Structure formats: structure tokens, C-alpha cells
Amino acid sequence: MSSRTRSTRSRTARSLVAVAAGVAVAASVAFVAMTPAVAASDEPGRVAATAEIAPGDSALVRTEDGVVRGTVTDTYRSFQGIPYAAPPVGERRWGSPQRPESWPGVREATTPASPCAQAGDFIGDVPSTQEDCLYLNVTTPRDATADAKPKPVMVWIHGGGFTWGSGGIYGAERLAAKGDVVVVTFNYRLGVFGFMAHPALDSGPAEHLSGNLGIEDQQAVLQWVRDNAAAFGGDPDNVTIFGESAGGMSGCAHLSAPGSAGLFERVIIQSGPCTLRWQFPDTWRAKPRAQAEAQGIELATAAGCADPATAAECLRSKTTEELLAADGGQHGFGPSYGGGVIPEDPARQLAAGATADVPVMHGITRDEHVTFQAGIDTMMGPVAPADYPAVLGQYLGVDAATADRVAREYPLSDYAGSTSWATANVLTDWGWGCPATDVNRQLSRANPTFAYEFSDRTAPWFAGPDVPAYPTGAFHAGELQYLFSGAYARAELSPEQQLLSDRMIGYWTQFARSGDPNGNGLPEWPSYDEGGHVQSLAAGPEDVSGVDMDREHRCGFWRSVS
């Protein structure tokens, strides 16, 4: 394989590193910006006038900032496009989230807000230039009201590699109604707007060091939930954060971030192991502050703002489009540690047992890397069989002899000659499966831990008719259609898969209710600290059972390689 081919494939892989929950199918969703003009009060943050709510009118809810009108059905209520922070525009760009201005009268809350600013992806994810995007959505069971018994609250953090995605594509009506919980989804700042670290941006509207504004947005949502959950029939003292991919990695950060302490009682980490290995691990896992600043300075230079003395003013003068273009998806913006919002490396905090003392549910999908491999193939085409060892060496960052050893462990003959299917298995085991087993062990030392693997290898492919020529298996984000409707529900589930969906909703919401997924006639799920049990979630003959992930993902081999 030529050096030019290796370089091109490296750049392509870097541009794909942020592909996660939401990026493969978001193009099918029409987003409508919901940022209506409202009158501000004389005292920002206080309600200037209140609207009367007739007894029994469950479409109206009074938040601390004003009254919202949602949608009511026979089984659930939905409130969309509620501001949880002031628009981070103008001088507030790269500023910490501030409380939104209140409004008099009634604010219509029937349409989700636009996604935060982001570029389109290789499959066709919807681009956005909207920086006024800090809005959330609340879905409740039909009978959830401020006067009823409070229900558990589940706060969903969307994926997308900290670069793409939004909360509006996740339909939570079935999760809320069947699970009898209140579900909150939301947008947070992404990419250059949410995670760029630069010394010139460490002051002014930023209350902490720059580089983690997206995490600060998530904390602002959790504080909003504390202040407003009761109005929607939720229990502000029973909050579970759950997220997939970058949303799962966010959960790792919240387990050790000082500003998140006391804002949640449980966490579910889906496909975001805190020790995730990746070809370019600086993108998803929290990176050192110095590395993040180097990336930020590089971006500022690309945007024409190289002078440190004027960089902040210069960057704020740039249009959204100019900043997205200067980034080009190549800078790998994501959380960073070393002062400010995330003082220490979350992975090291986990290894040291220095995380929040809360129950944790943690898991991955059986065939994580298929989603990313499909994206790489879409742009680059499959790897030639002769180049298979060399490409593995590039992805794994190992020498030729080690790459050849890996290729012998995963011979193409075991994968019908498909380099794509073989590579997906290699990178699933190395990058996801074995790190997940490490995280299970580390979590269980200090936290009640329930581990799982989503193992339905017949899960409907989520990218429409363009199904890869090799098996898609239990691909990255494949489990989302079992929990949510909306963008991820692209195909009808079989009766066996519908049963699995019911069980997963039962497990997830039981965990949110009590910190234990067991109950309500569900198959038993032993905790990980009771013998290292990992619950396999499959449909049909395999059903739910235990799985030896260490053996399944050949972790003994990978330990010898490492």
C-alpha cells in the first residue's frame, strides 16, 4: 500500500472518528428551528408575568422561567424546544451557560429546536449553522403531573463524537410511557463551539478554563432538571443520566467532574467505555489540556486568528460557517482534562476508584466497529486483501511484525475473505470489547455495577437500503431503536426483537427507579460484582443470558499484544 493511500485513509479515518449515535440517520429527520421571540422580564431570570393554568390542563406546565404548552396524547405528554440556557452567541460565544431570560404568557413547546452548529457527515447528516441551540425536550407518561407521585427522571446525552447530533431525533414517548419515567433529551454545544480549548478564551464569559463548554451545558441541563423536574411530575432527587457513544463518554466525565457532584443518582454508559481505544484516541477520550490547547491554537490559526493578543476578539468576529470550515472535522475536538471543569483524567479517576458513589449500568454492542467500517468503506472502498496487515498496523499503531500477528489471529478466511468484516472484528475486540471488560472490573470495585452486551446480531440496519455486503451484526448504535422511536426506528422490529425492546426498556427504567435493573418479571440480571456477570441482550433463541466478554473478544490475545 502506497504512503499516499495510507495518508488518505488516515485522514478519512480521522474524519470518521466522531461518527456515533445520531450521525448515520439524522438526514432523514427534518429539524425545525424553534426559537420564538419572547418578551424579557425587567429582571432577567425571573418570570415577569404568569399565565393562569386551569385545573386539569396537563398541556401547560409552569417552569421557573415561564409557562410552556406541550402536546398531550392518550399515553404521554411531550414538551419540546424549552430553553435551558441563554443563547451562547455574540459575546457569550465560548462562554459558560447562563440562565435564560424568562417570558410572560405561554411559550409554545411543540417543536424541537435546531441542532447545534455542526457540519454534515459522510453519510449526509443534517448540517446546522445555529448557535442559538441550547434547548431541551421533556417526555412524560400521560398521568405524570406536579400533583401526582413523582416519577424517576432519565436525562439522555446524545452521541455523535462531540461533533454531530442533537436531542430532537430521539423519540422518548414509548420509553416514558411503558417505563413510567420522565425523559429529558437536549442539545449541547459541539466541536469548535463546545470543546475548543484556547488560552485566549479562558477568561471573559468563560467561568472555567475553555475546552469543556459542552460538558458545562450538560451540567446546566442537570441543574435545570433539579429546578424544574417536579413541575413535569418528575422526582428531582431521583435522576439518572444515560447516554450512548460520546454521550456515554460524557457519563464517564460526570462520574468524576466536581461540578456534576450531586446532580444525579445513577448513570448508564452505553458504548462509551471510559478506557476506549481508537485509532485516534485523542478525539473521544478526554485529552490532556496541553494537547487540547494545541488543537485550539491550530484551529485559530486556520481561521486567521493566530495572534494570541487578539485571538478571542478575532474568533468571535468569525461567522459560524467560517469556523466550521476552518475546523473541517480534522481537529478532533472533545473533552479535555487538567483544571477547570474536568481537573483529572476520568479514566485514571476510574482506575483509582475516585468516582461518584452511584450505581452504574455499563455496556457495549457485540459488533461496535461495523458502523464505522461501513462509513470508511463508503468513502474509501474496502481494503485490498494484500493491504490487510498494513492497514491493521496503521489503525492499531503497531509495527509490521505485530500487525502480521494480528492478521494471523483474525485470518481473512474466517470472514469469507472480507477485509471489512475482518477489520471490524479486530477493532471491535481491541478498541471496545476489551476496554469494556476493564471498565466493568474497575467500576465494580467502588460502584454497584450492572454490565451488559447488546448482542442482537439481526438488529435492523439503521442507514436505510445501503446495507454493507458483510454482516452488520449488533452494530454501534444498533440498540437505540430498541429504546427510542424517531430517527433510529427505521424498520419494524420482529416479535422477538419487540420482546427484547420491552425487556430493555424494563431494565433501563427499573435501574433508573432503584439502581437495580431487576424486577417486574424480567429475566434475572446479576450484578457484575457477583462473579463478573455480563448480561447478553439478544433476540430469539439466544435471548438474555450471561456472556464471557473476555473470551468472546479475545482479550487474552490482546493483553499479550499490548
- Kindly report the number of other CB atoms within 10 A of residue 515's CB atom: 18
List of the chain residues with pLDDT < 50: 1-49, 122-124, 281-282
**Would you state the pLDDT for residue 283?**
57
**Would you state the pLDDT for residue 328?**
86
The half-sphere exposure of 223 on its side-chain side, counting CA atoms within 13 A, is 16
Residues listed for the chain: 562
**Would you state the pLDDT for residue 542?**
65
Query: pLDDT tens across 188-219, in order?
Result: 999 999 999 999 999 899 999 999 999 999 99
Segment holding 235, helix H or strand E: strand 234-244
Residues 77, 63: contact at Cβ < 8 Å?
Answer: no
Question: 368 catalytic, yes or no?
Answer: yes
**Would you state the pLDDT for residue 525?**
96
Question: 496 catalytic, yes or no?
Answer: no
The catalytic residue among 131, 173, 265, 368 is 368
Question: 245 catalytic, yes or no?
Answer: yes
Query: What pTM does this model have?
Result: 0.91
Q: Which domains, and CATH codes, for the chain?
A: 24-358 (3.40.50.1820), 363-561 (3.40.50.1820)
Helix and strand numbers (H, E) in the chain are 17, 18
The catalytic residue among 198, 254, 476, 533 is 476
Q: How far apart are CA 431 and CA 411, in angstroms?
A: 18
Q: Could you tell me where the beta strands, DSSP code E, fall in 354-502?
A: 360-365, 449-454, 485-486
Q: What sign does the CA torsion over 345, 134, 198, 22 have? A: positive
286: exposed, middle or buried (C-beta count within 10 Å: 0-12, 13-18, 19+)?
A: buried
The catalytic residue among 245, 420, 455, 536 is 245
Phi-psi region of 405 (alpha: psi -120 to 50; beta: other; left: phi over 0): alpha
**Would you state the pLDDT for residue 1?**
46
